[in-house]
Amino acid sequence: AQTVTQSQPEMSVQEAETVTLSCTYDTSESDYYLFWYKQPPSRQMILVIRQEAYKQQNATENRFSVNFQKAAKSFSLKISDSQLGDAAMYFCAYRSAVGGTSYGKLTFGQGTILTVHP
């Protein structure tokens, strides 16, 4: 079974600065998808960014970008020009693209709480 590990329970950043959240995963599959979700205090789960494993190019969405290292099984999230509204819990997640018992299921990491200081 796949596992996803977020080794930073908490991170903090100054407003307008850049922060990187770490995520590693363990899989024997070659085809899969990776996601970052944001969960603000409202409890809503919001998709931040998505990466396809077969694409070498790192995904970007405005101030959010990823550093996807397939060989190292690493998928970090970089937030540039941090804003107060970025404060939230961030979850890394893995989804298999291969048929089998794991197909279609999303496996989450433990989460990282991000605090943004004004």
Partner 1 sequence: NAGVTQTPKFQVLKTGQSMTLQCAQDMNHNSMYWYRQDPGMGLRLIYYSASEGTTDKGEVPNGYNVSRLNKREFSLRLESAAPSQTSVYFCASSEIGGSPLHFGNGTRLTVT
Q: Which of 86, 85, 80, 56 is nearest to 68 (CA)?
A: 56
Nearest distance from C-beta of residue 54 to partner 1, angstroms = 10
Q: Which is nearer to partner 1, 23 or 87 (CB)?
A: 23
**What is the smallest separation between the CB atom of 111 and partner 1, expressed in angstroms?**
5
**Closest to partner 1 by CB, 17 or 61:** 61
Expressed in angstroms, the distance from the first to the final Cα of the chain is 41
Which residues bind to partner 1, rule: CB under 8 A?
Answer: 4, 6, 9, 33, 35, 42-45, 47, 50, 52, 91, 95, 97, 101, 103-111
- Closer to partner 1 at the Cβ: 16 or 45? 45
Would you give the DSSP letter of residue 81?
A: S
Tokens of 29: 């599959």
Q: How far is the CB of 71 from partner 1 (least distance, A)?
A: 21
Q: In the complex with partner 1, which residue's Cβ is closer, 14 or 115?
A: 115
Q: Quick one: which of 43, 63, 32, 49 has its CA closest to 92?
A: 49
Backbone φ and ψ for 11, nearest 5 degrees, come out as -140, 155
